[in-house]
């Protein structure tokens, strides 16, 4: 029961000799503190959206609209016609030494003016306001890196804020500036030698959580095994029917936490109850909370199972090889098919692919591989990603690749006749590609003497006989068995043998 109440997760980032860890605990605030956290989230979301709109308007006036405040009216930009000045977003763009400030620095220096104009922002810690603008600046950095333009936030996607300094820990209590001392489930003690770098408070469906980021500059990075010293390799193929197929013929089941019949029925019932409520009513908020709690419970089960599977995979070999999947590409919609004669759109199997998309999301391959990579680095093992192209269509025996080799879960090579499971076949091909691509020197398994030999394969016109088809067994002397008793011969008699009872 404790695992369902307290959720712990670890994230690691290694830079030189600095070891950064993240510990997650569940908070136990009182009613006053819970109301204050909710109020802070609303105010911080408003500041975030206003700052984003301010930066967009400034860019429009400087580089697109030029001297005009509005392209429709073509009015000249001035303080009387525009809410944003032409020279800067919220303040003086120049420092005293003559250097130009960034947009983040301009908006941070305007926070005292914000507190004077709106006194209710004084109850929020100053580092929280600054980290809120740092969050916006990080979104712009992601945009410049090609990850999409920043979006305006609503209550569903803005549920956290961050402290930079001032946090204290004492037993099972934590002190958050301007929120006071607060109890939490101290399920994992912070190791000695680590100091707190930042603390993030996050609201979820079943309560409030705190993520503590700690750092230790004296601990070196994890020793990762060199590729030259790798002796054992295992290939892992991800699937939907079975979660993972390993090259050692082991299979890991897919529990389908979000797509099994019982869970789908519960989700359908709760979603239907929510849709029948009046929007904005207290009853609708109540039903929405129940639905969110069910989604959160499914997510917790999926995360716990992913950690369990990741531990099992990493312990199998020195090197773990997985597929370098483009999951976003797998979840894209089918291209529409338009009839040239009638102009109408034809069926494109999107409804059938919809179920596959749900199964892929429920399997959570990216999260599983991410946890496996972390555990591999923690244990000093090698984690590799290989191109999965045609791994389930290539024969591992002769190397012949053809689309016709695979028929759903069956693989039959059209060239050499080799047959096996398609997913297990893909895991072997992943292993072989990693060995050839990274020049791995694998330790060959020791051959074990077999007690039973395979019967001879007969040709087309060969007549079967007992000498050809029976299995040759090793002869063992019977010790302390019933065969030493008179009447029980040590060898099996044939039809025409006569036992000598004398």
Active-site residue, from 54, 237, 318, 362 = 237
Name all contacts of 183-186 with Cβ < 8 Å and 24+ positions apart: 183/27, 183/28, 183/29, 184/25, 184/26, 184/27, 184/28, 184/210, 185/5, 185/6, 185/25, 185/26, 185/28, 186/25
CB 25 within 8 A of CB 41: no
The residues facing 346 across adjacent strands are: 337
Judged on CB neighbours under 10 Å (0-12, 13-18, 19+), 499 is exposed
Q: How far apart are CA 368 and CA 305, in angstroms?
A: 9
Active-site residue, from 125, 323, 362, 373 = 323
CB atoms within 10 A of CB 65: 17
Task: Based on the residue annotation, tell me whether 237 is a catalytic residue of this protein.
Answer: yes
Task: Based on the residue annotation, tell me whether 497 is a catalytic residue of this protein.
Answer: no
Task: Based on the residue annotation, tell me whether 387 is a catalytic residue of this protein.
Answer: no
Beta pairing class for 168-170 and 173-176: antiparallel
H helix or E strand, kind and range, residue 300: helix 282-314
Q: How far apart are CA 63 and CA 427, in angstroms?
A: 53
Active-site residue, from 54, 362, 373, 423 = 423
Residue carrying the six token digits 């992913």: 306
Q: Which are the catalytic amino acids?
A: 237, 323, 423
């Amino acid at each position: 029961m404790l695992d369902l109440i307290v959720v712990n997760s670890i994230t690691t980032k290694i830079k030189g000799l600095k070891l950064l860890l993240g510990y997650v605990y569940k908070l136990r605030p009182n009613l006053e503190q819970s109301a204050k956290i909710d109020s802070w989230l609303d105010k911080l979301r408003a500041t975030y959206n206003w700052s984003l709109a301010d930066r967009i308007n400034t860019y429009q006036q400087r580089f697109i609209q030029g001297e005009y405040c509005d392209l429709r009216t073509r009015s000249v930009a001035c303080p009387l016609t525009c809410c944003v000045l032409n020279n800067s977003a919220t303040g003086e763009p120049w420092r005293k030494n003559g250097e130009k400030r960034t947009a983040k620095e301009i908006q941070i220096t305007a926070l005292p003016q914000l507190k004077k104009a709106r006194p209710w922002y004084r109850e929020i810690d100053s580092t929280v306001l600054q980290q809120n603008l740092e969050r916006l600046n990080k979104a712009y950095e992601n945009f410049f890196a090609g990850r999409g333009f920043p979006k305006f936030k609503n209550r569903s996607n803005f549920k956290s804020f961050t402290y930079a300094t001032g946090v204290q820990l004492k037993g099972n209590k934590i002190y958050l500036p301007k929120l006071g001392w607060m109890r939490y489930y101290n399920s994992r003690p912070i190791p000695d030698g680590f100091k707190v770098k930042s603390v993030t408070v996050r609201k979820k469906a079943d309560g409030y959580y705190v993520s503590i980021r700690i750092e230790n500059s004296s601990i070196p990075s994890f020793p990762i095994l060199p590729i030259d010293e790798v002796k054992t390799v295992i290939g892992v193929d991800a699937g939907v029917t079975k979660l993972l197929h390993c090259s050692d013929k082991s299979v890991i089941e897919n529990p389908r936490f979000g797509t099994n019949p019982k869970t789908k029925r519960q989700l359908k019932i709760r979603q239907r109850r929510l849709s029948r409520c009046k929007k904005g009513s207290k009853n609708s908020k109540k039903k929405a909370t129940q639905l969110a709690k069910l989604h959160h419970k499914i997510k917790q089960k999926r995360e716990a199972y992913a950690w369990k599977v990741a531990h099992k995979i990493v312990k199998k070999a020195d090197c773990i090889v997985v597929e370098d999947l483009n999951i976003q590409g797998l979840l894209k919609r089918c291209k529409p098919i338009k009839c040239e004669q009638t102009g109408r759109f034809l069926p494109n199997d999107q409804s059938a692919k919809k179920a596959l998309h749900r199964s892929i999301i429920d399997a959570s391959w990216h999260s599983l591989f991410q946890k496996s990579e972390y555990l591999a680095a923690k244990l000093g093992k090698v984690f590799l990603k290989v191109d999965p192209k045609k791994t389930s269509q290539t024969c591992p025996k002769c190397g012949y690749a053809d689309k016709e080799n695979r028929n759903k879960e069956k693989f039959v090579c059209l060239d050499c006749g080799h047959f096996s499971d398609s997913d297990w076949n893909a895991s072997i091909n992943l292993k072989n590609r990693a060995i050839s691509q990274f020049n791995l020197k694998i330790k060959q398994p020791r051959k074990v003497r077999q007690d039973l030999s395979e019967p001879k394969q007969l040709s087309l016109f060969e007549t079967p006989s007992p000498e050809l088809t029976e299995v040759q067994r090793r002869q063992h002397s019977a010790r302390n068995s019933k065969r030493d008793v008179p009447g029980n011969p040590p060898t099996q008699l044939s039809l025409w043998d006569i036992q000598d009872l004398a």
